Amino acid sequence: MSGTDIIYLDYSATTPPYPEVVRFYCERLLASYANPASTHQLGQEARKTLEQACSQMANLLDCQPREIILTSGASESINTALKSFFPAGRVWSGGLAVCAGEHAATRETAETLARNGVVVHTFGLTATGAIDLESVAAALSEKPLVISYMLVNNETGAIAPVAEIAGLRNKISPRTKIHIDAVQALGRLPLSFKQSKADLMTLSGHKFGAPRGIGLLIGRKNFAITPLIAGGGQQENRRSGTENPPLAEALVLAMEKAVNSAAAESERIAGLERQLNALLFVPGSGLSPVCTATKVPHIVSIRTPGLRGETLANALSAEGIMISAGSACAARKAAASPILRAMGLTDKAAREVVRISLGRNTGANDIEVAAAALLKVYNQLSR
């Protein structure tokens, strides 16, 4: 099967990098190789490049350049953000509040912290896929040090009620800080760190067309980060390790493209989502949408009664159509998706779900071919 025969509908797992960004990155890797910590001329130039890249990111994200920490990706950002509240050897004056339907990076971090004695307050999702605000209020009444949630759910596409959560925090527990995992939102929704009312925000380059291996943690000025990685004290002691200015520049280029095309792209993708829904969710097809909450159009999660999502995704893969059963991280795990379980799906139902996620190279023909193949395979294999 050649690359051109492939229909890639797994943008939420990772987005193909922009070819021009990869070319630019390779050129810059060769040209700007000095260590930005070196005091000689080349080192200083590399430092300037890095600072310039952070300023450009800050402009695009509506934050201060000094509030940006460059990491290896969102998992590192989330670990750094949440663990910063609970440094070893201190008594903590509150716990951690997380949604039961979080990405594994948050859930596993919460579990590690719980094993170290941190009290974790969990809030839920409703059957529609939305964050359950009553349980958010209950979690906040425990006065946690930090509350963490996803802006766009990576499996269902549900959009979190940012203003309502900030409002509840202000009313019930004003000292609680907010961490937002905005990984699936950049390039899909307008994103402003300031307006989000978050104290910390996580992003990942490979979800919006940058090369893999770079992410951001944005932390409000004066927020004390406990570094996850100790060493040479780079990035003002918040994350050690030699910085990679060309990768930061490549990230800026991808971010500019993703942010600047977001409005037009969401409209285009909303049209593709309508097309997909009209083809799949017809009487007698047996299929239904998993998420009925307010959602982004690029993630479509589908209930496939009587057929495991994994079986369907594998059969479509053999036909050159790449989709996921749930999220890519969960796909290799034995347990059913905790996100779908948090919505109240039974273990069996949660395994009978596939996720289609669309992006900049997806066209109407891809939707038509993929929907026809999905219906065919589902009819053949479901019982």
State which of residues 95, 209, 215, 359 lies at the interface with ligand PLP (CB under 6 A). 215
The least CB distance from residue 377 to ligand PLP, in Å, is 25
Instruction: For residue 150, state whether it binds ligand PLP (rule: CB under 6 A).
Output: yes
Stretch of 128-136, 176-184, 250-258, 285-293 contacting ligand PLP, by CB under 6 A? 176-184
Number of H helices, E strands in the chain: 14, 12
Side-chain half-sphere of 348: how many Cα atoms within 13 Å? 3
> Based on C-alpha coordinates, what's the Rg of the chain?
21
* Per annotation, catalytic residue among 26, 54, 99, 329: 329
Quick check: 97 and 142 in contact, CB under 8 A?
A: yes
Select 56 or 184, whichever has its Cβ closest to ligand PLP: 184
Q: What angle do CA 134, 140, 144 make, to 5 degrees?
A: 150
Quick check: 172 and 141 in contact, CB under 8 A?
A: yes
Stretch of 70-78, 129-137, 285-293, 343-351 contacting ligand PLP, by CB under 6 A? 70-78
The least CB distance from residue 306 to ligand PLP, in Å, is 28
- Smallest CA-to-CA distance from 267 within 355, 188, 159, 367 is with 188
Question: β-strand 146-150 against 96-99: which pairing, if any?
Answer: parallel
Select 47 or 103, whichever has its Cβ closest to ligand PLP: 103
- Closest-approach residue to ligand PLP (CB): 73
The least CB distance from residue 268 to ligand PLP, in Å, is 22
Stretch of 111-119, 179-187, 253-261, 280-288 contacting ligand PLP, by CB under 6 A? 179-187
State which of residues 10, 67, 132, 181 lies at the interface with ligand PLP (CB under 6 A). 181
329 is catalytic: yes
Quick check: 299 and 348 in contact, CB under 8 A?
A: no
Quick check: 33 and 23 in contact, CB under 8 A?
A: no
Angle at which helices 245-280 and 41-61 cross, to 10° = 30
Instruction: For residue 187, state whether it binds ligand PLP (rule: CB under 6 A).
Output: no
Instruction: For residue 183, state whether it binds ligand PLP (rule: CB under 6 A).
Output: yes
Amino acid found at 196: S
Amino acid found at 33: Y
The DSSP result for 93-139, as a single string, is: SS-EEEETT--HHHHHHHHHHHHTT--EEEE-B-TTSSB-HHHHHHH
The least CB distance from residue 371 to ligand PLP, in Å, is 24
Quick check: 152 and 159 in contact, CB under 8 A?
A: yes
Token reading at 364: 């109407």
Q: Which of residues 232-261 bind ligand PLP (CB under 6 A)?
A: none
State which of residues 32, 79, 135, 204 lies at the interface with ligand PLP (CB under 6 A). 204
Select 103 or 238, whichever has its Cβ closest to ligand PLP: 103
Report the 3 state secondary structure along 64-94: CHHHEEEECCHHHHHHHHHHCCCCCCCCCCC
Instruction: For residue 188, state whether it binds ligand PLP (rule: CB under 6 A).
Output: no
Q: Which of residues 8-67 bind ligand PLP (CB under 6 A)?
A: none
The alpha helices in 132-288, defined as continuous H runs, are 133-140, 162-172, 193-196, 234-237, 245-280
Instruction: For residue 158, state whether it binds ligand PLP (rule: CB under 6 A).
Output: no
The least CB distance from residue 10 to ligand PLP, in Å, is 11
Q: What angle do CA 259, 261, 266 make, to 5 degrees?
A: 100
Instruction: For residue 98, state whether it binds ligand PLP (rule: CB under 6 A).
Output: no
Instruction: For residue 105, state whether it binds ligand PLP (rule: CB under 6 A).
Output: yes
State which of residues 15, 32, 56, 75 lies at the interface with ligand PLP (CB under 6 A). 75
Angle at which helices 245-280 and 19-31 cross, to 10° = 170
Select 145 or 214, whichever has its Cβ closest to ligand PLP: 214
Residues 77, 250: Cα–Cα separation, whole Å: 19
Select 150 or 272, whichever has its Cβ closest to ligand PLP: 150
Q: Which of residues 301-340 bind ligand PLP (CB under 6 A)?
A: 329
Stretch of 72-80, 111-119, 186-194, 293-301 contacting ligand PLP, by CB under 6 A? 72-80
The least CB distance from residue 109 to ligand PLP, in Å, is 11
- Residues forming contacts to ligand PLP in the complex (CB under 6 A) are 73-75, 103, 105, 150, 154, 181, 183-184, 204, 215, 329
Where in the sequence numbering do the catalytic residues fall?
329
